[in-house]
Amino acid sequence: MIRRLLLAAACVLTTALPASAQTLRIALRQDLDVLDPTLATTYVGRIVFAGLCDKLFDIDDKLNIVPQLATGYEWSDDRTLVINLRQGVKFHDGEPFDAAAVKYSLERHLTMQGSFRKSEISSIDHIEVVDPATVRVALKTPSGAFLAQLTDRSGMIYPPKATEAAGKDFALHPVCSGPFKFVERVPQDHVTLERFADYWDAKSIHFDRVVYQVFLDSSVRLANLKAGTSDITEFIAPTDVAAVKSDPKLKLVVSDALGYASINNNVGNGPRSNTPYGKNPLVRQAFDAAIDRAALVEVVFNGMYAPSVQPVSASSPFYDHALKPPPRDIDKAKALLKQAGVTLPVKLELLTPNQPDQLQAAEVLQSMVAEAGFELRIQAMEFASSLQAQTRGEYELYLIGWSGRVDVDGNTYQFLHTGQGNNAVGYSNPTVDKLLDEGRGLTDLPKRQAIYNQVWPELRRDLPITYLYNARNIVAMTAKLNGFRPIPDGMIRLQGLEMAK
Amino acid sequence: MRGHLGTRIAQIIPTLILVSILVFCLQQLMPGDPALVMAGEERGDPQVLAQIRAELWLDRSLPVQYLHWMGNVLQGNLGFSWRIRQPVAQLVLQKLPVTLQLGTMAFGIAVLIGVPAGIIAAVYRNRFLDYVANAVGLAGLSTPNFWLGIMLILLISVQLGWLPPSGYVPLTEDWRQSLATTIMPAFVLGNAIAAILMRHTRSAMLTSLDQDYVRTARAKGLREFVVVIRHALRNALIPVVTLGALELGTLFSGAVLTEQVFSIPGFGKMVVDAVFNRDYPVVQGVVLVTAFLYVMLNLLADVLYVVINPRLRAA
């Protein structure tokens, strides 16, 4: 009786469940920040922008740069980029997309107070409108990384009139030229977009609405997918993969991502680098030799990530396929420590953000290196505090990840070049500096590849950063959803996505 | 009585000022530089950091920052969220109905379960029903909210498919859907409070059932139901109301874990997100509003005492 009553009550409550096939519900792992591409910093924010704002260029699954709002480009010399623009494109407010809008947007990214795009495209000297369908971008110095920046937020274009009119309030009602336009946002909960009827590529869009839902907890994300209240989730925990695979209503798409996880070694940032580990590369090499990356990934991430000793993933043209993670070698580690002449055990402190998987990884590392003669103490700290500790040099080793950039420069220069703001390990190697400078200045791919192939051995010897693995994008979705294209940047492109009847 | 209420109302303003100063000082003790967090993965650029500090007044002294903020608050401006650049007042207004709805429902469930269970346990003292009520109460108290929440999601949403596993729909948009999304979290929250209310109602009832006036009422030949409800319960309610107001205040300050598990966008989730992102204006705004709610609920409890117990009217 009670059961029947409960069922009846539940039926009354659930008859109104939103089940419209025209709405696509995308689960995000985190809440996004400000909805303004110039000011935004979060990864999940970029996933929403993929529905809202088109970019000059996009990338494909091989990280090739392909046109989006542009139709093509040409380097007229090594500092001048001529971009041809798509015609007949409209912004959500009806303004036409043209060269003036591109010039306006790039200048907004460059000069707006608080812009986070400034440093990405600071190589721009000036922008000229050649004609409504052509812009010419003059750079201060040659840059091999510049074009890749235009495949992300720096390449998102605004309608000048609406953007000017909105001023500081742009983020409350963002206007762009993407396939969907903004409807509403409830922070910590969801963002709703609706189909933009005048989208230039309207035939590739098969949904009327997109709702981006925020579920911080990975089991809650999975539960929603299983219950059918989310259609696709941008990321599920590696430990939930088995649950997705065993559910016939769901499917899984795994692809190489752009980022990496590493141990950042304090080799020159303040007094805490004055340890045998910080000052003697042999000690760091011993630590490295004691790590079994494959086992680490197997234990903590169910083998879903790719063990690696490079800051770029296998999807990148700069990945050196010959440079494999070395097998664990305890004898070598012990010999190196002996050669370094340190007293055993070598006491170290590993700082890590207090997330469960990071802590587990830290514990696995702790037991691995113990066998070689390291006594690793784990210090778990809330994320923001750990970040500050790193910046201030208040750490010895720091276990952390980087979401990754399309171009190799974004994964290396700021962390490894002498004096860069993100070089919190305090690394300084004139050879690496010179190579990184050269690498960013070239636009020719084979020449650049040759340069970075010289950087990796330097890093393997000095080990300012001990790379552990390259992450993968683990996307789960209802089996009815077709047309999903895995791209290394992890964005969910709405073009081509379709729900089977 | 009027004088008493007047004093209580006059206490509200210094209380709120004290709370605001406390919050302002406490968050300065938190490690983690807000500018570093704001900058996200752009934190490598010292220019960016300096610019953020200047824009957010982080380069001024603490008292100056406080007065700047307080000045705005007095003009009705709670400031802007640093992270998502929305006015804090707007964020609070967005979340307040959610938290009020969830809190009220949870409290309703708690009262509906806890008070009758407490009465039954007291009336059937040391008999079977008392033991059952105690056991159920103890189970409710000792079950962690997040565990119960996840179990309910797995059973009712994933296995049986009766209710949506998480999310929130406003009452004004679709009341049935709104109830469907909030009934499970409200039960999880209410269940724990029901246990507390049950224990307190039981002990207060035991005390008042032993009183002379109860014996007198029985001697007058009143029906047992009337004796229990009108004579004993009414006097037993004072401590229960006090406790209820405190519990309701706690509910209105947000239920972090439960909101997290059920993805309910209420105060708890907002304030936790804000703390982790060092979004100080949001933390300050939410704390100020919840402190206000707390104070008001206690005032309400004071009024209720008088309604329940007329003897207090003279005081």
What ipTM did this prediction achieve? Answer: 0.72
User: What integer pLDDT is reported at residue A20 of this predicted model?
Assistant: 45
Q: Cβ separation of B158 and A223 shorter than 8 Å?
A: yes
Amino acid in position A455: V
Q: Using CA atoms, how far apart are residues B154 and A243, in angstroms rounded to an integer?
A: 13
Token reading at A133: 């369908």
Residue A399: beta bridge partners?
A263
User: Number of helices and strands (H, E) in chain A?
Assistant: 16, 19
CA angle A296, A389, B35 (to 5 degrees): 115
H-assigned helices in A153-249: 160-166, 218-227, 241-245
CA distance B55 to chain A (A): 8
Cβ-Cβ pairs closer than 8 A, A with B, add up to: 166
Q: Among A482, A493, A409, A407, which residue's Cα sits nearest to residue A55?
A: A493
- Residue A91, phi then psi, degrees to nearest 5: -85, 165
Within 10 Å of residue A314's Cβ, how many Cβ atoms? 14
Contact residues for B119 (Cβ-Cβ < 8 A; gap 6+) = B201, B202, B205, B228, B229, B233
Summarised one tens digit per residue, pLDDT across range A41-76 is: 888 999 999 999 999 999 998 899 999 999 999 999
Q: What is the pLDDT of residue A202?
A: 94
**E strand or H helix at A254:** strand A250-265
Please check whether residue A154 is in contact with residue A121, taking contact to mean a CB–CB distance below 8 angstroms.
yes
Mean pLDDT estimate for chain A: 91
Given this model, what pLDDT does residue A28 score? 95
CA distances from A53 to A48, A60, A152, A194, B27 (A): 9, 17, 10, 13, 36
Does the distance separating the beta carbons of B32 and A382 come in below 8 Å?
A: yes
Closest-CA distance, B254 to chain A, in angstroms, reads 14
CA distance B54 to chain A (A): 10
pLDDT for the residue A115: 81
Q: Nearest-CA residue of chain B relative to A116?
A: B42
Residue A247, CA distances (Å) to A250, A270, A477 in order:
6, 51, 11
Give the tens place of pLDDT for each residue, B44-58.
Answer: 777 778 878 887 788
Kindly determine whether residue A384 and residue B33, on different chains, have CB atoms separated by under 8 Å.
yes
Task: Cite the beta strand spans of A14-61 per DSSP E.
Answer: 23-28, 57-59
Q: What DSSP character marks residue B33?
A: -
- Tell me whether strands A346-353 and A397-402 are parallel, antiparallel or unpaired: parallel
Report CB contact under 8 Å: B157, A223. yes
C-alpha distance from B163 to closest chain A C-alpha (Å)? 6
CB contact under 8 A, A387 and B36: yes
A498-499/A346-353 β-pairing = unpaired
d(CA B27, CA B224): 56
CA distances, B279 to each of A167, A256, B28, B267 (Å): 22, 33, 12, 14
Contacts of A399 (CB under 8 A, 6+ apart): A261, A262, A263, A264, A350, A351, A352, A353, A358, A361, A362, A365
pLDDT for res A2: 47
The 3-state secondary structure of A425-462, one letter per residue: CCCCCHHHHHHHHHHHHCCCHHHHHHHHHHHHHHHHHH
User: Is A33:B40 a contact under the CB 8 Å cutoff?
Assistant: yes
Interhelix angle A445-462/A409-416, rounded to 10 degrees, is: 40
- Cβ–Cβ of A116/B48 closer than 8 Å? yes
| Chain B residues close to A226, C-beta within 8 Å | 158
Min distance A223 CA to chain B CA atoms (Å): 6
Low-confidence ranges of chain A (pLDDT < 70): 1-21
User: For residue A209, what are the CA distances in angstroms to A189, A232, A316, A421, A434?
Assistant: 16, 14, 33, 41, 50
Name the one residue in this structure whose structure tokens are 């309030």: A169
Task: Name the closest residue on chain B to residue A12, using Cα atoms.
Answer: B176
pLDDT at A15: 41
- Which of B299, B274, B288 lies closest to B19 in space, CA to CA? B288
d(CA B140, CA B135): 9
Q: What is the DSSP string of B271-310?
A: HHHHHHTT-HHHHHHHHHHHHHHHHHHHHHHHHHHHHH-G
Q: How far apart are the C-alpha atoms of A277 and A283, rounded to whole Å?
A: 5
Residue B165 sits at the chain A interface (C-beta within 8 Å): yes
> If contacts are CB pairs under 8 Å, which of residues 182-211 in chain B contact chain A?
183
Q: How far is CA B1 from the centre of its chain?
A: 27
**A-chain residues near B162 (CB < 8 A):** 6-7, 10-11, 13-14
Q: Is B36–A382 a contact, with Cβ atoms under 8 angstroms apart?
A: no
A114 half-sphere exposure, CB direction, 13 A CA radius: 19
Q: Which pLDDT value is given to residue B41?
A: 65
Q: Does B44 touch chain A (CB under 8 A)?
A: yes
How many whole angstroms from its chain centre is CA A131? Answer: 35
Distance between CA atoms of A412 and A399, rounded to whole angstroms? 17
* Interface contact B84-A16, CB threshold 8 A: no
User: What is the reported pTM?
Assistant: 0.82
d(CA A290, nearest CA chain B) in Å: 30
Strand, coil or helix: A414: helix
Please list every residue in chain A whose beta carbon sits closer than 8 Å to the beta carbon of residue B43: 387, 391, 421-422
Secondary structure class of A386 (helix, strand, coil)? helix
**pLDDT value for A19:** 42
> Which B residues, 209 through 228, put their C-beta within 8 Å of a C-beta on chain A?
none
Distance CA(A175)–CA(A182), nearest Å, equals 7
Burial class of residue A356 in the structure, from the number of CB atoms within 10 Å of its CB (0-12 exposed, 13-18 middle, 19+ buried): exposed
Cis, peptide link before residue B164, omega less than 30° from 0: no
Backbone angles phi, psi at A66, to 5 degrees: -125, 155
Digitized pLDDT (tens) for each residue of chain B, 315 residues in all: 667 778 778 888 888 888 888 888 887 777 777 787 777 666 777 777 887 888 778 888 888 888 888 888 888 888 888 888 888 988 888 888 898 899 999 999 999 999 999 999 988 888 898 898 888 888 888 888 888 888 888 888 888 888 888 878 888 888 888 888 899 999 999 988 898 899 889 989 888 888 888 888 888 888 888 888 888 888 888 888 888 888 888 888 777 888 888 888 888 888 888 888 888 888 888 888 888 888 888 888 888 887 877 776 665
Distance from CA of B70 to the nearest CA of A (A): 23
- pLDDT computed for residue B313 by the predictor: 67
Q: What distance in Å separates the CA atoms of residue B8 and residue B278, rounded to the nearest whole number? A: 34
A5 in contact with B at a CB cutoff of 8 Å?
Answer: no
